[in-house]
Homo-oligomer: A and B are copies of this chain.
């Protein structure tokens, strides 16, 4: 496992990491019980405030932990954690302690009570911003209130799910900045 050095990152620019669509790990805690789930169904919907909408199924063990605690951490794993990602997605917190079973380290967050996963490239502390879409749509609108991001590499090597057990790994980065109008960046 990598031992990242992390720094505070402006919350209004976490799109750099979330907008490309990677699999993330959601960690949560409620009344002393913690859990981790995998998530690929999320999208950025605002920069300021920094909002991310996550589809969390009510059959997920984390659903109630997050709904009741009104917070979570969105953790961003790199490809070296792929087997842990698969194991997390294929087990339930109702049966095992995923932190212990997968030898993952809980790091204390600054603002929320949910633990951060130390082995991840980035950790985004989130507060539930809007709960009105949970009941009918399973959509949780979170505000990223604090971001901890590895100082290197500049872009993480993320994993993106395509279904059927197959993951796409992030490739090279290319800039087209010169072709953008300033207001469109």
* B40 and A41 form a contact (CB under 8 A): no
* B44 and A41 form a contact (CB under 8 A): yes
Q: How many copies does the complex hold?
A: 2
Whether A177 touches B161, Cβ cut-off 8 Å, given contacts A21-B22, A22-B21, is no
CB distance from A125 to the nearest CB of B (A): 20
* A86 and B180 form a contact (CB under 8 A): yes
Tell me the A64-117 residues at the B interface (CB within 8 Å).
82-83, 86-87, 89-90
Interface pick from A27-35, A142-150, A164-172: A164-172
Q: Which B residues are CB-close (under 8 A) to A166? A: 16, 173-177
**What is the total number of residues of chain A having a CB less than 8 Å from a CB of chain B?**
51
Query: How many angstroms from the CA of A173 to the CA of B171 in the assembled complex?
Result: 10
Query: How many angstroms from the CA of A117 to the CA of B179 in the assembled complex?
Result: 22
Query: How many angstroms from the CA of A56 to the CA of B174 in the assembled complex?
Result: 25
Query: How many angstroms from the CA of A93 to the CA of B8 in the assembled complex?
Result: 39
* B161 and A20 form a contact (CB under 8 A): yes
Q: Which B residues are CB-close (under 8 A) to A22? A: 21
CB distance from A85 to the nearest CB of B (A): 9
* B43 and A179 form a contact (CB under 8 A): no
* A83 and B176 form a contact (CB under 8 A): yes
CB distance from A124 to the nearest CB of B (A): 15
Q: Which B residues are CB-close (under 8 A) to A55? A: 43-45, 53
* B16 and A163 form a contact (CB under 8 A): yes
- Which one of B20, B42, B167 lies within 8 Å of A43 (CB-CB)? B42
The 4 A-B pairs of least Cβ separation, nearest first, read: A21-B21, A165-B177, A171-B171, A20-B160
